[in-house]
Amino acid sequence: MLFSNPVTSACPRFASCASKQLHSDFVAAMSALVKPELFRSPRLEILDLRHFSSADLRPLLEDEAEVWSRLLSWDYSGSADMILRYVEAKILPGYAAIDRGRIFGYAFFVYEGSKGVIGDLFVGDDGRLSNVYEVETRLLTHVIETLQQSPGIHRVEAQLLVHETGAVSQPFVEQGFQRHARLFMVLPLESMRKSATALDPDIEIRRWTEPDYQPAAAVITTAYRGHVDSEINDQYRSLSGSLRFLNNIVRFPGCGVFDADSSFVAIHKRTRNLIGLILCSRVRHDVGHVTQVCVLPEYRSHGIGEALLEVTVNSLRQRSFSTLSLTVTEANARAVDLYQRLGFDTKRVFDAFVWEG
């Protein structure tokens, strides 16, 4: 069976392209839009993120980090630091919600060739806002309009993990996005149930190494062909896209810090071919997060996925981790069923949105 975890899009997405492209595409799109929009209160307005410094945004990101910690047991500091560096360099496209000179909400996005990815949306709620939802909607509307009017952009993706399903769907649905429900699942490591399926003796499990990049990308591309997750994350549709996906997971902190000690590959002993993999990141000192797990179609139902999960769990346990989390598309019923049988519990349901122009 196929295990589906395109979580790199569920996490804050950072630019993998040159800053010059980020700047020029954003300026071109902005020229087509109206001036900053005022809310009903004359004190509230939406402005270009490039007007502000990292010091202006830092208090809001500290509030956001508390939310990620409370809802997801996730240390957001690495992502926050990278966002602040991009803001300070004036190269992060996005918008800020302003009240009397103070930023109380923001959203950002990045360009990846002909695709735009909405990286994050957060509005702080300190009790002074009468309608947080309205601010979220206005920020998203600005971002969506900018991306859809950006020259050469034909696809937009978004996964906003801390927002419950349906919470911010209106501006996406109104602009013609497809919506896919996704699950955030959690396993207390002491309670993982043993799989009843024995691993095929022709299969060897070993730790991830740098030379695995190319064969792993080939496995990802083949495993997700025709699958719903390739509709959500189009990087899975090509070898070059899968390589970019792997690079984002291993080298960028949006989905935590890559943990090579709990990442493994499955090898067919006779052919020495890589046929499956599991990648894991550390999102808190004691919490792991599965960023990818998949098996080639012809090797499913051989206990390989269960074996990969088991070795990851054992590695984390040995280093005093307490919890493992992952995300999975709700429509991937076989994977959801397996995770539930192994002891994973659904903690949140969130949405993935896709628009193709």
Where do the domains of the chain lie, and which CATH numbers do they carry?
A: 19-181 (3.40.630.30), 184-350 (3.40.630.30)
Are 180 and 352 a contacting pair, CB within 8 Å? yes
Helix intervals (H) in the chain: 19-30, 54-72, 77-88, 132-148, 170-174, 213-223, 228-232, 239-251, 304-318, 333-342
Residues in CB range of 211: below 8 A, 6 or more apart: none
Per-residue pLDDT of the chain (357 residues; tens, 9 = 90+): 344 443 344 776 654 444 444 545 554 554 444 444 434 455 789 999 999 999 999 999 999 999 999 999 999 999 999 999 999 999 999 999 998 888 999 999 999 999 999 999 999 987 666 789 999 999 999 999 999 999 999 999 999 999 999 999 999 999 999 999 999 999 999 887 776 677 888 999 999 999 999 999 999 999 999 999 999 999 999 999 999 999 989 988 768 999 999 999 999 999 999 999 999 999 999 999 999 999 999 998 889 999 999 999 999 999 999 999 999 999 999 999 999 999 999 999 999 999 998
Contact 217, 246 (CB under 8 A): yes
The residue among 118, 100, 99 whose CA lies nearest residue 108 is: 118
pLDDT at 43: 73
